[in-house]
Amino acid sequence: MRKIYFLLFFLFISFATLAQVVSEKEHLIVMQLTNGDTDVHKKFIRQLNNIMTAAPNAKIEVVTQGMGIDLLKTQQNPYEKELGLLVNKGVQFVICENTLRQREMKKDQFLTLAGFVPSAILEIVMKQEAGWIYIKAGD
């Protein structure tokens, strides 16, 4: 019986230590968002908050392209406050300039919290080459 208690105690300590390591590690995550559906955006924001709660040291860059850039538009954006809170937690949002040209949109149509990259795909490739983990979001 003593061995079982010892084993359970050891497993508990192991899991607690693992959970602490996961939350303290600096995870590098690049997420690609191409979906323009507002329901998808709502779920995506919840996912980002969940990640930042579980791993507050995570570095996340959200690369938006195609219809995904609609998440960051200024006009009638129901998520502006939540996006600002995510930025305060260290999440970065960037918009693909190729998409802007294709959709004939201007940078001033987007929240100032967002940055811009020349090419979404190239940005993702460069992040992966630098060791970041890629996640396709919102589909």
One pLDDT digit (tens) per residue for the chain, 139 residues: 666 655 556 556 655 544 444 457 789 999 999 999 999 999 999 999 999 999 999 999 999 999 999 999 999 999 999 999 999 999 999 999 999 999 999 999 999 999 999 999 999 999 999 999 999 997 6
Both ends of the chain: CA-CA distance in Å? 50
Would you say the pTM of this structure is higher than 0.85? no
Structure tokens at 44: 């995506």
Classify residue 90 as left (phi > 0), alpha (psi -120 to 50) or beta: left
When computed from its CA atoms, the radius of gyration of the chain, rounded to whole angstroms, is 19
- CA-to-CA distance for 57 and 59, rounded, in angstroms? 6
When the candidates are 1.10.3720.10, 3.40.1260.10, 3.40.50.2300, 3.40.1000.10, the CATH number that belongs to 26-137 is: 3.40.1260.10
